[in-house]
Amino acid sequence: EPEVTQTPSHQVTQMGQEVILRCVPISNHLYFYWYRQILGQKVEFLVSFYNNEISEKSEIFDDQFSVERPDGSNFTLKIRSTKLEDSAMYFCASSGQGGETQYFGPGTRLLVL
Amino acid sequence: RKEVEQDPGPFNVPEGATVAFNCTYSNSASQSFFWYRQDCRKEPKLLMSVYSSGNEDGRFTAQLNRASQYISLLIRDSKLSDSATYLCVARSNSGYALNFGKGTSLLVTP
């Protein structure tokens, strides 16, 4: 069964450093998403991406965040200057069409020290 | 104001029991609803979509009441493997972002 994959599974970084989280969505999917989940909190939407541009973003997704689809398979989330409060599990998801089921990857656990 | 609210639990039930989870949503523009399941430190996985007419998938039954902005999930004949956190999710008609509740924790014991 096709699945979303994410790398790395864990990332530890120093405050102020840049991090790039990588995702490989399901191959024939057209819509891509990033969510995050702070420990003990709910899953929160960050951004959706379609046709090589952001289609929707939340208040969390400020200028420190960016997304890119650098090639035909990868979808990345960049945090330019990490803060302590960016520590969370980051989930990538994809769907065939916008209104279809979103399938989540296993997540990248980011710890900012 | 939280968009999707759930009783956090935990619900501790014996194997074979029937358990019901409730959820309310505040955004009346929400059009689509789902129950996702999340195991500890894992990704959310779709359990079932929720339709106005109600729908059933094996031991799981979901109901939606748009007038009350209320969603429910019923699990019959609980199995040990049902132990997880159940996430109530709503999506508005203005985009594809999923709005998650904080989840209800279920522990099924032998």
Q: Are A47 and A67 in contact (CB under 8 A)?
A: yes
Per-residue model confidence as pLDDT tens digits over A46-99: 999 999 999 999 999 999 999 999 887 899 999 999 999 999 999 999 999 877
Q: How many CB pairs under 8 A join A and B?
A: 49
DSSP structure class, residue B20: E
Say what percent of chain B tops pLDDT 70: 98
What pLDDT score does B2 carry? Answer: 65
Tokens at A19, concatenated: 């991090």
* Residue carrying structure tokens 């079932």: B48
A interface test, pick of B33, B96, B100, B105 with most A CB neighbours within 10 Å = B96
Looking at chain A from residue 37 to 96, which residues have their Cβ under 8 Å from any Cβ of chain B?
41-45, 48, 55-56, 58, 89, 91, 95
Residue A92 CA to residue A47 CA, distance in Å, equals 10
Provide the greatest CA pair distance for chain B. 44
CA distance A71 to chain B (A): 23
Per-residue model confidence as pLDDT tens digits over B29-68: 888 999 999 999 899 999 999 988 889 999 999 999 999 9
CA angle B63, A48, B23 (to 5 degrees): 20
pLDDT at B8 over 90: no
* Range list of β-strands (E), chain B: 4-6, 11-14, 19-25, 30-38, 44-50, 55-57, 60-65, 70-75, 84-92, 99-100, 104-109
Residue B25 CA to residue B71 CA, distance in Å, equals 8
Question: Is A45–B99 a contact, with Cβ atoms under 8 angstroms apart?
Answer: yes
Question: Is B43–A91 a contact, with Cβ atoms under 8 angstroms apart?
Answer: yes
What pLDDT score does B92 carry? Answer: 78
Mean pLDDT, rounded, for B3-21: 94
Per-residue model confidence as pLDDT tens digits over B77-94: 999 999 999 999 999 777
Q: Of B41, B97, B100, which has the smallest distance from its Cβ to A42's Cβ? A: B100
As beta bridge partners, residue A50 has A31, A53
Per-residue model confidence as pLDDT tens digits over B13-39: 999 999 999 999 998 888 899 999 999
Question: Is A45–B98 a contact, with Cβ atoms under 8 angstroms apart?
Answer: yes
Per-residue model confidence as pLDDT tens digits over A16-42: 999 999 999 999 899 999 999 999 999
CA distance B15 to chain A (A): 26
What pLDDT score does A6 carry? Answer: 98
Question: Is B98–A102 a contact, with Cβ atoms under 8 angstroms apart?
Answer: yes
What pLDDT score does B1 carry? Answer: 56
